[in-house]
Amino acid sequence: MTTAAVEAIDIHKRYRGRDGEVHAVRGVNLSVSAGEVFGFLGPNGAGKSTTVRMLTTLMTLTAGSARVGGVDVATDAHAARRKIGVALQEAGLDPRQTGRELLVLQARLFGMSKHDALARAVELIELVELTDAADRRIKGYSGGMKRRLDLASALVHRPEVLFLDEPTTGLDPASRLTVWDEVRRINELGTTVFLTTQYLEEADALCNRLAIIDAGQIVREGAPAALKAELKMRLGLDADPTLDEVFLDATGRTRSRVAGDVQEV
């Protein structure tokens, strides 16, 4: 059997809050196949970010188990980190460096020789189409260029799985479409992508499958087309529903309630 790129088995997260114990994640089960673009959706406070932090070794599991690239994130976090790339919502870029300098530094930190680091930087600069801006300081990059450079930085060590945390939040429509193209290109080269997003149209456009989490539990999972078809049949709708409507149905929210939770619904 082929090892899942990402696997979570009955994972839980509890922690002490101001008002007592918080059970943020309540028995999440996930299996992401190698080569997929997998979307992870949920309203604010649903447990989405906590789940991702556990999968990327940034937070410990209270119970259950999780593996990335076949490596247990709890018992061998260091090896798991070698399997993943992470691009967080806020790009951690030094504005004083050039794009090329940043990528070379990242490669050197992963143990590459100077020659290999320079070569890898060229590959990644071409991949995200920043060749003309490679030797400009990052402080002069647009928001979209910074996001693309952050994607390149997460790919320096050729990870098996790339975790993207809301990669297009705050970007203008043209920059968002450019980042979508980069995600598709990265995936076509064989990298599994685990995407969290608050833009449902983004999940619909990019994801092979997705899961919706609410109140710490998975409430809906499947391919976007299949989820929409199931809702249409179950409710006897005449028109094809949108992924927005699937989300609202799965979480029991209305458009007025969801407006403050999920952007662009």
Q: What is the pLDDT of residue 265?
A: 30
Q: What is the percentage of the chain residues whose pLDDT exceeds 90?
A: 69
Say which residue the tokens 């809050």 belong to. 17
Report how far apart, in Å, the C-alpha atoms of 106 and of each of 57, 109, 110, 125 are.
19, 5, 6, 13
Average pLDDT over residues 170-176: 83
Does residue 259 register a pLDDT over 50? no
- Confidence tier at 176 by pLDDT (50, 70, 90): confident
CB contact at 8 A, 168 and 147: yes
pLDDT digits (tens, 9 = 90+) for 203-232: 999 999 999 999 999 999 999 999 999 999
Q: What is the pLDDT of residue 174?
A: 85
Q: What is the pLDDT of residue 255?
A: 59
Average pLDDT over residues 230-253: 94
All structural domains of the chain, each given as residue ranges with its CATH number in brackets, are 6-258 (3.40.50.300)
∠3-5-11 over CA atoms, to 5°? 100
- DSSP 8-state code for residue 133: G
pTM of the model: 0.86
CB contact at 8 A, 102 and 128: no
Distance CA 249, CA 264 (A): 16
- Confidence tier at 65 by pLDDT (50, 70, 90): very high
Q: What is the pLDDT of residue 151?
A: 87
Average pLDDT over residues 189-198: 93
- Confidence tier at 91 by pLDDT (50, 70, 90): low
